[in-house]
Structure 1
Amino acid sequence: MSSKVSPTRHPKPLKRGKACMNCRFLKIKCDGLKPICGPCQLHPRDDECEYADGPGRSRTKVLEDTVTRLEARLLELENPEGSTPSVTLHDPYQSYKAHRLSKSPPLHLPDSPLVFSPLSPFSPTSTASSLPSGSSGSSTSPNQPGPIPTSSVGFEEPPISSLQTSLDNFLPHAQQFGFFLHAPTFRASALLAFPLGHPSRPTPGLLNAVQLFGVHFSQPDSPTNQERPLLIRTLQHVATDLLGGHPNKIIHTLQAEVLLAYYFLRVGSLLEAKVHTGSAISLALGSGLHKIRSANVTSPSTIAIINDQPYALPPPINDLQEAERINGFWSVLMLHKFITVALEAPPHVCGALEAPGMQIDTPWPIDMDNFQEGIFPQELQSNSTVRAFLNGYLGDVGEGASHFEMAAKAAILFHRAAHLTGQWSPTLAPRDRSAYEAAARSVNVLIDAFRNKLGPMPRFNTRDPSIRTTLLTHALIDAASIKLHCIFAYAYSSSKQICLSAARNMVNYGDLNLQELGHMNPIIGNLWMSANLIFVDEISRVRQVKETYPEAAAIEDELMESYRHGLNAMSLFSHEGKLMPECYAYSYLPEHQLSKVQDSFAAI
């Protein structure tokens, strides 16, 4: 049986042609082999072997055409009178030049909303967005329009009537969500008859963040399909505002990041809340806001490089701008304290603002409602603001002190107590135990001194915006006592009594109608939860000794009354946000938290 042998297949000969582009450029002999000629095979180069007669234009040919086109365009620009421009540009703001010449631009009129010209696809934004922060538009004056970021995200500004409604919904509660700008000035600038992104108005990201809160507060009255697009628009603008030339882009973006962090904290998007808190901390520290009026000689923080020179945040142009920067730093610090306590496990309660070597020199904040020129004396300098406070220098507390300052100090003590709780362990070495006890005693003394100066909860008109901040301050200082002592409440009677006293104070509002308070800082759920858990634990203990302790029934009735007050507060504000974490563990959604308290009570 014979087998057939298949004929041997010879490789197809390579095509030969004219010299390749590399050989022509180097002026060497080319054998014309395709796809790669002999010289290019022997000496490989970065440029691929290309032929002018290929199926498409070679890369070299494309570059040659580009050079030719640019040379023609350069000649056209050098001789504008002798050539016809290939692209005709127009000024989309020509109708508003008269407004820009005015020192006090007119406000929008609700009955006649302005209609702005559509942005050109060749607007300055497309050029500015490709440049580093500060390298474009940094010299823009307040009376000249800067880059308009809306072209990069494809959204137009909402109607003026919608903006006015959002401002009315948000500004009365703005302080509870870290709003540190001067509200009347912000409102006036937001309603100016200039396009979105104009330097005389807030940055687009901040304006949209405020509108987002306004729509969120109006639920369920507003259409349910408005909030999500507003959130997307806000995130897009905040991500690009620093690339533009707005004169207030640093501070306004910082404000927008703080608002976004509180928004995500309120709706239960915890990872996003941490992300925007981190961005706010980076902006505040990177801009040197922790060193305002510092008594220490320090070089300004570099925020950009322009013409190979470091560029820092310009000095404030007036007292109001300086006050906004000071308040901005403390708003970030309070947000940082709340986020770390609420979202981190006790051993991890710390953060960038407590890093080794970090020193805060910025003066304490002021109440913007009471702002006046000259509120900061020219000779005022500050040094180690937080460290001096933790070392026992209370400063202004109580009557006559700034409500913002008292809230910031209470937040620092609340965070410090939570941090110490996370450092405790029954297995601490004797030296570590002694260090912990000394630190805990120091913080406990400071909490008591602060509470004594703070005094009892004053009687306020619920329409007074400061009532919310004052209520938050009292709740924070009571929660600080609970944080510091709750881990010892089962072993030490004194710690248990401190926790009970603080929990009673937290839910004792007298004749204050909580329903009239409006929107509160999202951390308030965390504080009320800690008080309710103390009541549940104590009610359980009292019931266990009810048979042998005659006064147990009366004590239980008193505890039940306090528990109902706390539960009522939680029920009223459970719709306020999605974050109400318990004092011992991690975070839960409000429905789960509320049911957890009720389930814990039912179990006893």
Structure 2
Amino acid sequence: MDTTSTLIPEIQKLRKGEACMYCRRRKMKCDGARPICGQCMRGDRAEDCEYAANSSYSRTQGLEDTIARMEARIRELENPDNGQGAKLVLRNPYFANEFQQLPSSDLPVSSHVAQNVQQAASSNLWWTLDEPPMHMRENLFLQSAVEVGFFLNTNRFRQSSLRDLPHGHHERPHPVLLSAAYLWGIHLTGEPYTQHEDAILTRALSQLTGSLSSTHPQRIMHTIQAKVLLIHYLYANGRLLEGKYHTSSVVGLALAARLNKVRSSEVTDAKPLPAPVDSVEEGERIRACWTIFSLDKCWAVAFDSPPNTHCPAEMAGQQLDTPWPLEMAGYEQGLFSEYGTSNRTSYTLQNFLNEVPASDSGDSALGFLAKGAILWELSTKIFHQFRAASGQTLATHIDTFNRLDRLIDQVIASIERASLGRKEYMLPRCIASAAAIRLHSGLANTNALSRGKCLIAAEAIVLSLNSIPDLDSAYANPIIASAWTAASQVISSEVTLWRSVVDTVGTHEVERAERDLKRIFNAGLNVMTVLAERSQLIRYQEELTQQSYVALFGL
């Protein structure tokens, strides 16, 4: 079910300022209809649709004026020696827990950080220093850690990053990791800090070049983590070629660090990493392995290009023996120690794909994501093989097709049992459903069962998207755009199919089916429109599906 080129009716452009305030703020295409525009009508948000021309001072303009005053206050705080005579208090106006006024002498900052803040305030160039002010460091990206590929223990990272020690000290995170973390913190915080993202990104990429040659005891793991954070950032901002380059690089580094051999039964003298100090540190290595594996597989499918890891690997040195990951809380609670230090694993992926029972089930969000990723990749291979196969050779792929179909069904069912509505299971559910669509899409036009499975998977993706809590402030892994695109293509094909049989089933039945499909499409599109605010890549895919929606259903 490939996307075919479609002529999209040109939308009449509005003059500047004629779009409603909601569409203008969301950077959405507005038709300017009054009293409620088409976008707000489809999104069932009539109460949010307002025009600045309706009154001399709209509610949205009031909010924008408030933001302007807050930005002016920040400029005052960054320039305490501006001759006004008032003693200014450094605080972050974007976090409610920091609104309390404190005398500057009572600010809870260390001596090193206080000096850093003073230098930043006096120079008004905080982004040129090694680290930003404390109030920015305290509010990093950790609430979105899963979505940006953070596999280290968040509590330990936060504690070490805020220690009263100089930048680069061995008891604090490696400088390249801090820079990558600050980059994400600034990106997710929003204006006015985002204007300095390029400076922080340039610094982080520069630090990568010498990070492995430093003497920092965690240089390997922290460099790997920094690379993963930067890869997610590059993809999210549409810098795809750079993202692919660093993905290849981090896969090679992970293999060199033998992260694919944690707890392996393979005997070797190669030990690029020291023995882990506890189960949490070992868990970080296990989660690093599967984070990188999932990253490589998912984006290989998105780009329709070969992955950097080939599994099942025929080479013994590259096969993945690392056990399936637990949630980080499991390592903190010592659950992994139940396996015992003598317990070794091997052929983890091969056993899964061959349906061999294993002691570690991999029923964590990251485990499900890794399973969904490998099934998505293998389903893509089968899809291409089916398209190229003749009638005689098609039968040779049936066994593989049926096995993948069973595995996808099992993974989806396991996610449903384990998720309990938690947000970290949203992406694995979408990826597994995208794998189902990819597997069956080659047969959907001729096989009713495959067509039904594609539609069920598309609805599951939309349902998962609508389960995201606190949507307006949420950040989503941009790979979700590929899953959504697959779902939207299924819905579009289904609409086209129903319209083609109107003479057979009747107008009433076709209109009923089309209403249901339009509702599903609209529900997914509304979520993606919000998520697009924080990712250029999602915005690009969302605009394409907006065009498909208009072509199918009109404005």
Fold shared, TM-score > 0.5 on shorter chain: yes
- Give the alignment of 1:193-342 within 5 angstroms: 193-219=164-190, 221-300=191-270, 312-342=272-302
| 2:382 alignment counterpart | 420
Measured in 2, the distance between the counterparts of 1:162 and 1:212 equals: 11
Question: Offset at 1:459?
Answer: 5.0
Relative distance call for 1:285 and 1:420 in structure 2 (3 A) is same
Question: Could you tell me which residue of structure 2 aligns to residue 189 of structure 1?
Answer: 160
1:323/1:365 contact within 8 Å kept: yes
Q: Which amino acid aligns with 1:567?
A: L
Letter in 2 for 1:416: L
Residues 242-270 of structure 1 show CA distances to partners (whole Å, capped at 9, x for unaligned) of 11100000000000001111101101100
1:603 is displaced (CA, Å) by 8.1
Q: Aligned pair in 2 of structure 1 residues 298, 397: CA closer, same or farther (>3 Å)?
A: closer
In structure 2, which of residues 308, 319, 324 is the aligned counterpart of residue 359 of structure 1?
Answer: 319
Does 2:506 match 1:555? no
- Contiguous gaps of at least 5 residues in structure 2: 1-106, 117-126
Q: Which amino acid aligns with 2:363?
A: A
- Deviation, structure 1 residue 403: 2.4
Tell me, yes or no, if the aligned pair for 1:478 and 1:505 is still in contact at 8 Å. Answer: yes
1:591, CA displacement in angstroms?
5.1
Residue 379 (structure 1) shift: 2.5
Contact residue 186 and residue 194 of structure 2 kept, 8 A: no
1:380 aligns with 2:343: yes
8 Å contact kept, 2:462–2:523? yes
Q: Greater CA deviation, 264-273 or 515-524?
A: 515-524
Instruction: Choose which of 348, 353, 356 in structure 2 pairs with 1:390.
Output: 353
Per-residue deviation, residues 365-384 of structure 1 (Å, max 9, x unmatched):
11113422362322221110
TM-score by length of 2: 0.72
Residue equivalent to 2:57: none
Amino acid in the other structure paired with 1:406: F
Determine if the alignment matches structure 1 residue 161 to structure 2 residue 135: yes
Where 1:285 maps in the other structure, the secondary structure is: helix
Question: What do residues 107-148 of structure 1 show as CA deviations (whole Å, max 9, x unaligned)?
Answer: x943753438xxxxxxxxxxxxxxxxxxxxxxxxxxxxxxxx
Q: Which stretch of the first structure deviates more once superposed, 195-204 or 538-547?
A: 538-547
* Structure having greater relative contact order (Cα 8 Å, sep ≥ 6): 2
Tell me the TM-score normalised to structure 1 length.
0.66
Identity of aligned residues (%): 30
In the alignment, structure 1 segments of 5+ residues that lack a partner are: 1-107, 117-152, 302-311, 461-466, 581-587
Question: 1:593 matched to which residue of 2?
Answer: 544
Aligned to 1:409: 371
Q: CA deviation at 1:511?
A: 7.8
Give the residue type in structure 2 aligned to 1:542. Answer: W
- Please tell me the residue identity of whatever aligns with 1:177: V
Find the counterpart in structure 1 of residue 121 from structure 2. none
* Residues 374/515 of structure 1: CA separation in 2 closer, same or farther (3 Å cut): closer
Distance 1:440 1:401 in 2: 23
Query: Are the equivalent residues in 1 in contact too, given 2:474–2:531 (CA < 8 A)?
Result: no
Cα distance in 2 for residues equivalent to 1:409 and 1:396: 16
Please name the residue that 1:526 is paired with.
482
TM superposition shift of 1:413: 1.6
Q: Which residue identity does 1:434 align to in structure 2?
A: A
User: Aligned pair count?
Assistant: 429
- What's 1:103 paired with? none
TM-superposed deviation, 1:436: 2.1
CA contact (8 A) 1:570 1:594 kept: no
Deviation at 1:502, TM superposition (A): 1.0
Kept in 2, the 8 Å contact 1:215–1:222? The answer is no
Measured in 1, the distance between the counterparts of 2:418 and 2:548 equals: 26
Question: Per-residue deviation at 1:296?
Answer: 2.2
Q: Distance in 2 between matches of 1:273 and 1:428?
A: 37
Q: Distance in 1 between matches of 2:456 and 2:133?
A: 51
What secondary structure does 1:386 align onto? helix
Structure 1 position 402, deviation (Å): 2.3
Aligned to 1:546: 502
Kept in 1, the 8 Å contact 2:283–2:325? The answer is: yes
- The equivalent of 1:14 in structure 2 is none
Distance 1:544 1:410, change over 3 A: same
CA–CA distance in structure 1, aligned partners of residues 360 and 219 of structure 2: 34
Following superposition, the deviation at residue 238 of structure 1 comes to 1.7
User: Is the CA contact (8 Å cut-off) linking 1:349 and 1:422 kept in structure 2?
Assistant: no
Letter in 2 for 1:314: P
The structure-2 alpha-carbon separation of the partners of 1:232 and 1:513, relative to structure 1 and needing over 3 Å to count, comes to closer
The offset of 1:396, in angstroms, is 7.8
Q: Which has the larger radius of gyration?
A: 1
Higher helix share: 2
Paired residue secondary structure (1:226): helix
Q: Helix, strand or coil: the match of 2:145?
A: helix
C-alpha deviation, 1:356, in angstroms: 3.6
